Chains A and B, each alone.
Chain A
Amino acid sequence: MIRAATPKLGAYAGLASLGLLMALVLGRPELVVLAAPFALIVALGVALAPDPRPRLSVRLDRQRVLEGDEVSVELELESERPIGHLELLLALPDGLELAGGSNPVALQLPDAEPRTLELPLRCVRWGGYAVGKTTLRARDRFGLFVYDGELDLSTPLKVYPRAEALREAIRPAETQVYSGNQVARHRGEGIEFADLRPFVTGDRMRRINWRASARRNALWVNEQHPERNAEVVIFLDSFAEARRGESSTLDLSVRAAASLLAAYVGHRDRIAFVSFGGILRWLVPGTGLTQLYRVVDSLLDTEITLNYAWKDVDVIPARTLPPQALVLAVTPLLDERAVSALLDLRGRGFDLGILEISPVPFAEPAAGESEALASRLWLLRRQALRARYERAGVAVAEWREGTPIAVALEEVTAFRRSARHMRV
Chain B
Amino acid sequence: MLAALLVAGAPVLGAAGLERLVGLLGVAGLLLVSAALAAGMIGLLPWGVASLGGEYVAWLLVRGGEVDDRAPLYAGGLLLVAELGYWSLEHRGVAVSETPLTVRRLLTVALAVSCSVVLGAALLGASAVELGGGVVLELAGVLGALGVLALVTRLVWRERREP
Residues of A with Cβ closer than 8 Å to B? 2-24, 26, 28-34, 36-43, 46, 84-85, 87-89, 102, 104-108, 139, 141-143, 145
Contact B120 A33 (CB under 8 A): yes
B149 near A20: Cβ-Cβ < 8 Å: yes
In the complex, the answer to whether B86 meets A8 with C-beta atoms within 8 Å is: yes
**Complex Cα spacing A273 to B77, Å:** 72
Is B28 positioned at the interface, with any CB of A under 8 Å from its CB? Answer: no
A145 nearest CB neighbor, chain B only = B159
- Nearest 7 pairs of A and B residues by beta carbon: A37-B116, A11-B46, A29-B127, A30-B71, A104-B95, A106-B95, A102-B96
- Chain B, 97-113, contact with A by CB distance < 8 Å: what is the 0/1 string? 11011001100100010
CA distance A241 to B56 in the complex (A): 67
Residues of B within 8 A of A141 (CB): 108
Complex contacts, B15 vs chain A, CB 8 Å: none
Closest to A18 in B: B50
**Minimum Cβ distance to chain A for residue B139 (Å):** 12
Given contacts A39-B152, A40-B119, A105-B96, contact A85 B101 (CB under 8 A): yes
Q: Is B24 engaged at the interface, CB distance under 8 Å to the other chain?
A: no
- CB of A49, distance to nearest CB on chain B (Å): 8
Would you call B116 and A36 a contact (CB within 8 A)? yes
Q: Given A7-B42, A34-B71, A36-B75, does the pair A15, B120 have CB atoms closer than 8 Å?
A: no
* Choice from A18, A29, A39 contacting B124 with Cβ under 8 Å: A29
> B94 near A104 (CB under 8 angstroms)?
yes
* CB<8 Å pairs between A and B, sample of 10: A7-B43, A15-B53, A20-B149, A28-B57, A30-B68, A33-B71, A34-B120, A106-B94, A108-B101, A145-B159
Measured CB to CB, the closest approach of chain B to A92, in angstroms, equals 15
- Which residues, 125 to 163 on B, are CB-close (under 8 Å) to A? 127, 142, 145-146, 148-149, 151-153, 155-156, 159-160, 163
User: In the complex, which of the residues A31, A37, A40, A85 contacts B57, with contact meaning CB atoms closer than 8 Å?
Assistant: A31
Seed contacts A15-B82, A36-B120; 11 additional CB < 8 Å A-B pairs: A9-B156, A11-B49, A11-B82, A13-B155, A22-B57, A24-B142, A26-B61, A30-B68, A37-B112, A107-B98, A141-B108
The complex places the Cα of A11 from the Cα of B112 at a distance, in Å, of 17
Closest B-chain residue to A19, C-beta based? Answer: B53
Q: Contact check: which of A17, A26, A37, A145 meets B152 at CB < 8 Å?
A: A17
Smallest CB–CB gap between B163 and chain A, Å? 4
Which of A5, A34, A43, A85 has the largest number of chain B CB atoms within 10 A? Answer: A34
Question: Which of these, B71, B119, B155, contacts A46 with CB under 8 Å?
Answer: B155
Interface pair B156/A37, CB less than 8 Å apart: no
Is A13 within 8 A of B152, CB to CB?
Answer: yes
Contact B124 A33 (CB under 8 A): yes
Expressed in whole angstroms, the Cα–Cα distance for A16 and B95 within the complex equals: 30
| Pair B95/A15 contact, Cβ less than 8 Å | no
